[in-house]
Structure 1
Amino acid sequence: MNSYTGLTGKYLKGQKKRSLLTIFGIILSVTLLTSIGTIGMSYWGKSIRQTMRDFGDYHVSINGISGDAVSKVKNNTTVESAGVISREGYAVIKDTKEKEKKENPFAAPYRYLNVKGYDANAINMLQVQLDSGRLPKNPNEIVLSSPSLNYFSEKPKLGDTMELNLGIRKVASTGEDKKINGIGDFGWDLDEAFKAQSQKEYIIVGFMKPPTGNWSSSYIFPAITFNDNKTINNKKEYFVYVKMKSLNDIQKKSEAIMSSLQLSNAEQSSAMQLGRDHSIENVRIEYNNELLKLYGKSTYEGVNHSLILALAAVVAIIMICTIAVIYNTFHISVLERISQFGLLRCIGATPTQIRKIVMQEAALLSLIGIPIGLLTGTLFMKLLFYNIRLLTLGILNDLRMVISVPILISAGLLGLLSVFLSAIGPAKQAARVSPLEALKSNGGTKVEHITKVNKSLFVQKLFGIIGQFASRNLQRNKKRFRITAFSMIISIILFIVFSGLAQFMQQTTQVSGSLFSYSITYDGPSKRIDDTVYQHIASLDAVQHAYKFYNDQVAAIIPKDKIDPKYYEMRKDQYILAEGEGYRTSNNYLRSYGDNGLDDLQSKLTAGVINKEIMNQENGVIVQQKISMLTKEGKQLIIDQTHFKVGDRIKIRSFDRSQKGYQTVTVVGIVDNDLLSEKQDGSEVLSFITTPKVYSKIMGTDAYSSIFILANPDLSNQPIRDYLKSLNVKDAGFNYLDRVAEVAKSKNDAKTFSILLYGFIGVIFLIAFLNIVNTVSTNLILRTKEFAVLKAIGMTQYEVRKMIILEGIFYGLFAGVIGIIIGTGLDYSIHYLFAGALDTVWVIPWISIGIAFAGAMITTLVATIWPMYRLNKINIIDALRREN
């Protein structure tokens, strides 16, 4: 040995158990960092892929520009790549027959194909989803929408050749070209004529899924062909989808592009689901904010800052907890070796050399623990993702495990940083040791002068003299007590914070949309579905529930004191028509799901009860007043429009002037969501749900024009589909929507997401459990000599065991209370930071608190098992003679 620092390796080899425990603490910390980083990267990647599928892989779209502006956009210095879509024309696939027009006076004159030419970039950016076949690669190839196939005289098949007469739509009464805007172009009216302009032959290479749902009532169906758009026609309109080189200041860059095109009247908006109808007259800019916000670059700065701050807070908590876990291990080790450092000081070691010994020890242990931690974290995630693939078949199977080199490097560096930050304090403490005092002391840098140890009469009465011993041990060894308790507190904080984060994620990604399997609507002149249709549907074995849906808009007088002040501040424009002591509003609907619908709505009530007889007598209504809205800052907000309570009275009336004036309805119940939805309404509609009888009394009609169907998942749904199709064939006024696959996928996604969340919580729980076991066990093992002394002066094995268990209970009680208070506070703080982007209800996490407290108590008891087993076997004389 050439220097004092050469003792490091010898010490680590000589004290293998203590070294292993320290390495184990490092492994736990790096495993935590690796696991969280891997889950975060994997879920982030999945979110991006899913968002690209739903909203497109582009940043900005410019819709409806002339041909001469296309090259200016594509060649702009801020643009990385651009996809171009050209309007090729419309093609009639079926004329509406006179019989159909008589049965449905609102039927469009034609059913069209809306043919657009996508270049390669546009195909990739808009993520066209196929039912079968492939995407077009040549100008003579075409992909048709699957729902359009039923309207051809002969149903097309893959590989068939079809000839289309492409042309434009005109206003029949004036002969003018029909003004059409937007990528959807699905609007139509009765005053419409078609003029063919060219003829083209296509090979059918694929069938695509409908962009916004399988509505059988569509009169205009999308069709996609390939067009490299290298030759631009200045007289045509184009849609350009842009990916920017940098996402910084994306709104300013887009405005600069529009300025260069001299298009000052462009309307700006946020991208919604692809394929929607754009009912505007001017050029439109859309920002794909759903994708941009995943990069922290949405056009809403408040959303960006909120997400960044919240994620930074989560990373900071992980870092602090990681440092604390490793710090505890080093601190305990140093405290128990103070006498050794004192001996080194006596034979000439300087404080600098002592610090080097501790820091070298940290470096050697890091070289061993960090690679193992990276490996165990990766393997743990492999196991979790493997189980997800086994147990589910949903879209989250797209949750691919990302073994990210930057994440592994970051976890390793953060682990190394944590180790050295953790070792600095103990190293300085060891260097400050006074040689003579350290040789006398036991577990401190100076001799503790204990003049008084507080007695607890409560502990003595409850646990006897052994309880007093346990209590006094904690008071006598305050530093050791603080270190061990601190480790447990950190574990409890980790569990509560990340359980809360998981629940928050579950709220924000909750399966949205309606839960029905099928719906059928009648748009014919009568606006009424005959009861025989409902009875036939309800009688089908495959139908679990069928609900008649009565729905119409009503005017309502909302008392001023019943309007939510927060909502009023954001939507003052809705409350401008003062009437009586309130405001007259029009964005209200009177609804009924039939008598059986009210029975099933009972379980969703947050206040009141449903009694149909009383409702019929008192014009009773159930108010759905909670909504989901997007603020001007881009924040998703869940809020009550009004504060109605059971017993309140509201004046409402039909918009049909031939009906009665205002009638008074009585609030008998409150619900947060309607019968067929799991989330709040995003249309900012105030809904009054009632019985068919009350609906008929107020609206002056007992007609219903929709039926919602919940299918039996255990039976074939084919009889339902066959019947709905037959209705559509007999009467074009019937339109149906098939959502079976979508609902099944949503439920499966929810199940998969739950597995991911609870798997993630399981990682936190396991690491917290092992951390407590490691710290408590280390503490007890390092006190072997102390326990041997107690046994030597007459304490029995049973009494030693009881004392250790009581110490564990005291640790658990103290750490549980402190950890729960801090953890709950941090959970609320993170929730508050996320509130700038998303609004969810924060409640005290009682379940997590209960699990954390019970887990801490159980874990401390489990942690004593191995040390007590070791103490049972050890010889008192051997324990007094040797080091731990």
Structure 2
Amino acid sequence: MKLESNNNQRIVNHLAKQSVKGNRMRNFFILFTIALSVSLITFMALFTMGVRKSYERKVEHMQHVIYYDVTKEQLGNLAKDEQVSCVAKMKTGPSIEVEDYILSFQYMEESRKELEMLKLSEGKMPQKEDETAVPKSYLKRIGKPEKLGTKLSFTFLDGTTETFTVTGFLKEQGKSKVYSVVLSEQYAENGSQLSQVPYTALVRIHNAKQYNQTGFLNEIRDLASKYGIERKQVNENNAFLKTLSGDPNALQQTVMVIVIGIGILFVSVLVIYSVFYLSVIGRIRQFGQLSTIGMTRKQIRKMIRREGILLSMRGIPIGLLLGAAAAYLAQRDGWDWKNTIVTAIGVTIADLITVLISIRKPAKLASAISPIEAAKYSGETEKQGKKETKKLYRKLSPIRLAKLNSERNRKKSMLTMISLGVGGILFMLGATFIEGTSLDEYARSGEFSYGEYQIGFSSNAVETMAHGRTGIQMKNPLSLEFIKQIEQIEGVKKVHRFERAEVKWEANGENVDDSVNTFSEKILKDMNRAMGTSLDYAEMAQKKELIINKNDLVQELFGWEFAVGDKIEITFFNGTENVTEEFTVAGILPSDYEEPSPKWQWLILPEQSVKEIMGNINLTDLLSVSTEKEKEKAVGKAIRELVEENPLLAMETIEEERDKVEEQFHMLHGTMLGLSAFIILFSLLNLLNTLITNMVTRKQEFAMLQSIGMSEKQLYQMVQSEGILLAGGNVLLTLVGGTLGGIGMIEVMRHFEAEYMHYHFPLWYFLVYTVLLVVIPIIVSRVVFYFFKKEALVERIRNSD
């Protein structure tokens, strides 16, 4: 009687349930694989969405746009506009450098429901002209009592000293070298440091979330134009802008998560497929028996699919819980139930499809075996028609037997090796990324591209000097004598000198306080190559021509771009009087041009033109000092001593920049290490499953070999050799594929301007991976044979299943 004659649905389900209950070892590996893949994908998805959600919540009560230098009338008009939901005003006064920290004086309104300005941890906002609110950490730093009512005296850049009473403590977020000193509205109107400072308007727009990025920018610029606020006075909140649709970075992050998720699912497919394949091979005789009593091929496939679904229903919830818990702990501020539910549904569907794809081939294999073939099945997969050896005898040893077993089960060995190799290659790619990232080069890719130490003018000095930067340059402390002092320090390789002149320029109705850089005839040759021009240095100096840099930023700030032929009026102060000259735009540098100076501005003029106007003024604005690597710290200490002798100078170090870079890459490298650890775990899990299943299904074969004279030691050596051969193939595949893939990955990244990436073979990662692959077969074989020894040899021969 066929199974379909009765309640076959229940019988098939019952058989699947019994199989799941009975095969605990297989179930453990499959459950572990499913839970691991689900938990990692869930964590990655929820963590990425959590970061974005946390970001959105942080900007939820921030201003959408800042309008600088506005009048009281403009403030009133903005407050009445239908498009505006909230307006707050503030003033920013002088900033003062004190030792190694900065004091920033400002007036700002207290936070309200819609707009978060500043929060107090204790006390109240200053109301009177002589009241202030400061961070409590500032009082601790200067050794004052950390309590309300403390008197603070400040000496401003104009030399005046004023005393204030602390009425409130500002809420602090992390460590900072900049301390805010918040003053009252009365002081903003009447105080010496703020009364002449124009207001800044912090504005929120009605229904701003409904805009895309382009629409939002158009809206806030149109609003500014409506009330006579110039384009250059508009500063959109980029933090809020990133939360709107159209952000390319958000799209890149989403694509990255999807690609990594697909990679994880692919590895899961290989592992689950391998586990089910070995499980089916081990149960071929059982399937033959079921066929004998009337089970159809369709029902056998259905039974195996049912097993996969049952295991998924157990493994997926475990993985979802673990992944969600990890994401919550890692990003609590971004936790969102809606995102969690959507992710859980998506991951469940994806992993179910993964499992069904994984077991499709093994199920087809199981259903294709006839009862007679099943009875004769030995597990060998060698091809029919293979020529037999002509030798009457061959030398047998444990290692030789291990090779023979691998050859006769070539398909199974290749499948395992490929699934292991894919994991190994992915692991090597992650390790190559970590090993190939030069944080030092990344730190040097910006302003520190010329040296480890930068010496420039103190911001205090620039603010207080009568003619700003030019006033310092008239008696420039960055003199040839000062440069020679630095060059004489042991360990200094070279001192790079860069020039800049402070100017005012007028073009297209805009009047801008700015500075200009200079170029030599040598630099012009490089710029000509970048622009595809053939400009002549002497001719440019004679005709008063210049080159435009960063034209895209001009467009962003003013809404228009410079074009070749445009006229620009530039006003210099040459030490005695203001000199105005008209220059013509002769060329425009491409946006990706690699600038030959750390701080190039928009207007780049020939050195000769600027010298003719500025006379003998030393225009040196910045020194960049490169050092011998082993003497970097000693040189830095000596330079700092020289800089501290002159209050007009300030110094920045690459060490500070490295610290910032390390903080940026810390999370990225942590993620890569986590992914690498996951991939290793998958590969080792696959190897472990293969070895254990292989030994358990061949228990009778091992007993037969022992019965004809093979010693326990020889049997152990044979099984161990099989595992090491499998691991060796994986190591070779990982070495070749991982190396080629790593080189390719680095080249692609360098093509996209990641010049700080260099290929370095991840030797230690590879050695650890290799050791694990070799040690596991040794440990597994010992453990399994320990349990084999508990059963008598005769019993092992008798029990073939």
Same fold (TM over 0.5): yes
Cα separation, partners in 2 of 1:357 and 1:214, compared to 1, 3 Å: closer
The answer to whether residue 18 in structure 2 is matched with residue 10 in structure 1 is yes
- Pick from 361, 369, 374: which aligns with 1:438? 374
* Partner deviation per Cα, 1:662-708 (whole Å, 9 max, x = no partner): xxxxxxxxxx9955999xxxxxxxxxxx9xxxxxxxxxxxxxxxx99
Instruction: Check conservation: 2:493, 2:626, Cα contact below 8 A.
Output: no
Cα separation, partners in 2 of 1:530 and 1:62, compared to 1, 3 Å: closer
The Cα of 1:873 is off from its aligned counterpart by: 4.6
Q: How does 1:394-405 map to 2 (within 5 A)?
A: 405=340
Cα separation, partners in 2 of 1:482 and 1:368, compared to 1, 3 Å: same
The Cα of 1:20 is off from its aligned counterpart by: 2.8
Cα separation, 1, equivalents of 2:742 and 2:82: 46
The answer to whether residue 24 in structure 2 is matched with residue 24 in structure 1 is no
Q: Secondary structure at the match of 1:124?
A: coil
Q: How does 1:411-810 map to 2 (within 5 A)?
A: 414-443=350-379, 449-452=383-386, 465-500=397-432, 523=461, 526-528=475-477, 551-553=497-499, 555-558=519-522, 563=526, 572=531, 576-578=535-537, 674=626, 710=637, 733=648, 758=673, 761-810=676-725
Cα separation, partners in 2 of 1:871 and 1:375, compared to 1, 3 Å: farther
Cα separation, partners in 2 of 1:3 and 1:711, compared to 1, 3 Å: farther
The Cα of 1:817 is off from its aligned counterpart by: 3.0
User: In structure 1, what is the equivalent of residue 277 of structure 2?
Assistant: 331
Cα separation, partners in 2 of 1:860 and 1:784, compared to 1, 3 Å: same
User: In structure 1, what is the equivalent of residue 794 of structure 2?
Assistant: 877
- Pick from 158, 162, 182: which aligns with 1:223? 182
Q: Secondary structure at the match of 1:143?
A: strand
Cα separation, 2, equivalents of 1:63 and 1:284: 7
Whose helix fraction is larger, Structure 1's or Structure 2's? 2
Cα separation, 1, equivalents of 2:241 and 2:743: 26
Instruction: Check conservation: 1:774, 1:863, Cα contact below 8 A.
Output: no
Cα separation, 2, equivalents of 1:587 and 1:50: 36
Instruction: Check conservation: 1:470, 1:806, Cα contact below 8 A.
Output: yes
The answer to whether residue 222 in structure 2 is matched with residue 259 in structure 1 is yes
Cα separation, partners in 2 of 1:439 and 1:310, compared to 1, 3 Å: same
Cα separation, 1, equivalents of 2:67 and 2:295: 74
User: In structure 2, what is the equivalent of residue 864 of structure 1?
Assistant: 781
The Cα of 1:491 is off from its aligned counterpart by: 2.8
Identity of aligned residues (%): 18
Q: How does 1:798-877 map to 2 (within 5 A)?
A: 798-823=713-738, 832=748, 840-843=756-759, 845-847=761-763, 848-877=765-794
The Cα of 1:93 is off from its aligned counterpart by: 12
Cα separation, 2, equivalents of 1:518 and 1:122: 43
Q: Which moved more, 1:331-340 or 1:739-748?
A: 739-748
AA in 2 matched with 1:321:
V
The Cα of 1:442 is off from its aligned counterpart by: 3.0
* Partner deviation per Cα, 1:747-789 (whole Å, 9 max, x = no partner): 7887788667646644543443333223322222222223233
Q: Secondary structure at the match of 2:385?
A: coil
The Cα of 1:333 is off from its aligned counterpart by: 0.6
Cα separation, 2, equivalents of 1:26 and 1:574: 66
User: In structure 1, what is the equivalent of residue 236 of structure 2?
Assistant: 286
Instruction: Check conservation: 2:437, 2:756, Cα contact below 8 A.
Output: no
Cα separation, 1, equivalents of 2:62 and 2:440: 22
AA in 2 matched with 1:843:
Y
Cα separation, 2, equivalents of 1:872 and 1:653: 93
TM-score by length of 2: 0.63
AA in 1 matched with 2:354:
S
- Pick from 24, 38, 44: which aligns with 2:43? 38
The Cα of 1:329 is off from its aligned counterpart by: 1.0
TM-score by length of 1: 0.58
Instruction: Check conservation: 1:518, 1:708, Cα contact below 8 A.
Output: no
Instruction: Check conservation: 1:555, 1:587, Cα contact below 8 A.
Output: no
Cα separation, 2, equivalents of 1:676 and 1:409: 57
User: In structure 2, what is the equivalent of residue 617 of structure 1?
Assistant: none
User: In structure 1, what is the equivalent of residue 511 of structure 2?
Assistant: none
* Partner deviation per Cα, 1:183-219 (whole Å, 9 max, x = no partner): xxx9x9x9xx99xxxxx99963136889998589xxx
Cα separation, 2, equivalents of 1:748 and 1:472: 53
Cα separation, partners in 2 of 1:413 and 1:451, compared to 1, 3 Å: same
Q: Secondary structure at the match of 2:116?
A: helix
The Cα of 1:493 is off from its aligned counterpart by: 3.1
AA in 1 matched with 2:31:
I
Cα separation, partners in 2 of 1:121 and 1:807, compared to 1, 3 Å: same
Cα separation, partners in 2 of 1:64 and 1:54, compared to 1, 3 Å: same
Instruction: Check conservation: 1:791, 1:797, Cα contact below 8 A.
Output: yes
Q: Secondary structure at the match of 1:314?
A: helix
Cα separation, 1, equivalents of 2:590 and 2:475: 39
Q: Which moved more, 1:783-792 or 1:328-337?
A: 783-792
AA in 2 matched with 1:439:
A
Query: In angstroms, what is the RMSD of aligned CA positions?
Result: 6.5
Cα separation, partners in 2 of 1:266 and 1:478, compared to 1, 3 Å: farther
Cα separation, partners in 2 of 1:327 and 1:585, compared to 1, 3 Å: farther
> Gapped runs of 5+ residues in structure 2?
1-6, 98-102, 187-197, 462-471, 500-517, 540-544, 550-588, 598-605, 617-623
Instruction: Check conservation: 1:346, 1:435, Cα contact below 8 A.
Output: yes
- Pick from 168, 193, 205: which aligns with 1:205? 168
User: In structure 1, what is the equivalent of residue 133 of structure 2?
Assistant: 143
The answer to whether residue 299 in structure 2 is matched with residue 353 in structure 1 is yes
Q: How does 1:372-383 map to 2 (within 5 A)?
A: 372-374=318-320
Cα separation, 1, equivalents of 2:757 and 2:749: 13
The Cα of 1:320 is off from its aligned counterpart by: 0.8
Instruction: Check conservation: 1:114, 1:223, Cα contact below 8 A.
Output: yes
Q: How does 1:52-71 map to 2 (within 5 A)?
A: 61=66, 63=68, 66-67=74-75, 70-71=78-79
* Partner deviation per Cα, 1:572-616 (whole Å, 9 max, x = no partner): 399855579xxx99999xxxxxxxxxxxxxxxxxxxxxxxxxxxx
The answer to whether residue 89 in structure 2 is matched with residue 86 in structure 1 is yes
Instruction: Check conservation: 1:142, 1:205, Cα contact below 8 A.
Output: yes
The Cα of 1:341 is off from its aligned counterpart by: 1.0
The Cα of 1:61 is off from its aligned counterpart by: 4.9
The Cα of 1:344 is off from its aligned counterpart by: 0.8
Instruction: Check conservation: 2:423, 2:683, Cα contact below 8 A.
Output: yes
The Cα of 1:345 is off from its aligned counterpart by: 1.0
Q: Secondary structure at the match of 1:452?
A: coil
Cα separation, 2, equivalents of 1:855 and 1:849: 10
Q: Secondary structure at the match of 1:451?
A: coil
Cα separation, 2, equivalents of 1:856 and 1:248: 54
Cα separation, 1, equivalents of 2:457 and 2:137: 17
Instruction: Check conservation: 2:271, 2:682, Cα contact below 8 A.
Output: no
User: In structure 2, what is the equivalent of residue 170 of structure 1?
Assistant: none
Cα separation, 1, equivalents of 2:405 and 2:41: 37
Cα separation, 1, equivalents of 2:679 and 2:207: 38
Cα separation, partners in 2 of 1:52 and 1:439, compared to 1, 3 Å: same
The Cα of 1:347 is off from its aligned counterpart by: 0.9
User: In structure 2, what is the equivalent of residue 124 of structure 1?
Assistant: 116
Instruction: Check conservation: 2:435, 2:761, Cα contact below 8 A.
Output: no
AA in 1 matched with 2:14:
G
